[in-house]
Chains A and B, each alone.
Chain A
Amino acid sequence: MTKPESEWTWKELPVGNVILEPGNASQYRTGDWKTLKPVLKKELCIHCGLCYIFCPDMAYSLNEENYFIADLFYCKGCGICAKECPTGAITMVLEEEEK
């Protein structure tokens, strides 16, 4: 796990402040930015993949059942997937606070 920036000492920094772990931004949770979250109605899904390809946050991936599902850890709730879904299978709903 990469330490957040406020915990690094100057001696720990790689020379030139190079970041050696490719793609470690994926440890950062952007999912708590959202107010709305996408919900899929599986019966309407035609597995076209448009939700997946249009997501600016790469939140979608295929599950075992061959549906594209949004990873709420990253999803910022922009609503592009719901808007672009050709069958209206995705709706944006208000995210409830975890109890």
Chain B
Amino acid sequence: MTENLNVFAVRTLTQKEYFTPGHRSCQGCAEALAVRLVAKALGGNVIIANATGCMEIVSSPLPYTAWRVPWFHVAFENTAAVASGIESALKVLMRKGRIPRKKIVTLAMGGDGGTADIGLQALSGALERGHNFLYVCTDNEAYMNTGIQRSSSTPFGASTTTSPVGRVQMGQITWKKNMPAIAAAHNIPYVATACPSYPIDLVQKVKKAADIEGPAYVHILSVCPTGWRSAPELSIRLGRLAVETGIFPLYEVEKGQYRLSIDFPKLKSIKDYTKLQGRFRHLTDEMIEEIETRVHKEYEQLRAKAGKGS
């Protein structure tokens, strides 16, 4: 899980908060926790471009802001483009001597809707241009801020308000879009998946991504009790189960080289994960088997890429 054994205790992380309490997320929101940990990992020397979405809304109701660092919200689909502008402006202003030269991290943050759907074009452009920035996608697997509508990141079978369970159709009919693979296909130096249930791993990956020259992409699974219809106190457990069942494997792709952050000799049963969430309440045994087969297949493919194939 971690290579740096010096940082294995939670208390060795900085106690400073760059994302303050008083934000308006739901109880038990693991996306807020993800954002908190990202902010901790990067510290004060950062400029954040944020997409429209849950985290933007809960953190910036005029005249209040939960941000102790410079933070900018423009629109829904252009976060990577705004971040490109920030990064390039810093570059030229430092080159021309208008601001002092020092390392400032440009961070772009968006949800799954703002990244995999409407924001995909801007992200692809920014990755292709090779800007020196970090893109973090906090994935709660639907358009949660507008009331739990499906996105391309909604997992197969999940019930949302636009992929509901009815007599003819039972939840999301397509498979979750593989955003880390799309990012990796741009041949950027660093791609990683993370989950706030593994906080040290998340912080280390974000720090590493920020230090890398060039574009980096970190995809963070964010449990959403409101949208997933799960108990708020289970948000950390569900994140852990997502990893332990192979549904959301933790890995890094560094210069095209895959590396699993944690590998399980035997994956837990999908049922352990789905039974705790109302959005999967309707899953039949056939659907569960279909999901499990595919999850296991993709997990093996990932292991093979990481050089651990059987």
Contacts and interface: CB of A to CB of B under 8 A. Distances in A.
Chains A and B touch each other in the complex, with CB atoms below 8 Å apart: yes
Interface of A: 2-5, 8, 17, 19, 21-30, 33-34, 47-50, 52-59, 61-62, 71, 74, 76-80, 82-84, 92
- How many B residues are at the interface, by size bracket? 35 or more
A57 B11 CA distance: 17
Sort A-B residue pairs by CB-CB distance and give the 8 closest, nearest first. Answer: A79-B233, A78-B28, A25-B22, A78-B27, A74-B21, A25-B66, A28-B22, A78-B232
Given A19-B65, A25-B22, A77-B27, A56 B233 contact: no
SS class, residues of chain B in contact with chain A: loop
B11 A49 contact: yes
Given A25-B20, A78-B235, A56 B25 contact: yes
A56 B33 contact: yes
Interface in B10-37: 10-11, 13, 15, 17, 19-30, 32-33, 36-37
Contacts of A27: 22, 64
B236 A58 contact: no
Interface string B53-80: 0000001111111111100000000000
B43 interface: no
B27 A49 contact: no
B10 A49 contact: yes
B260 to A, nearest CB: 23
A9 B62 CA distance: 13
Given A58-B21, A62-B15, A74-B22, A25 B65 contact: yes
Contacts of B21: 25-26, 30, 57-59, 71, 74
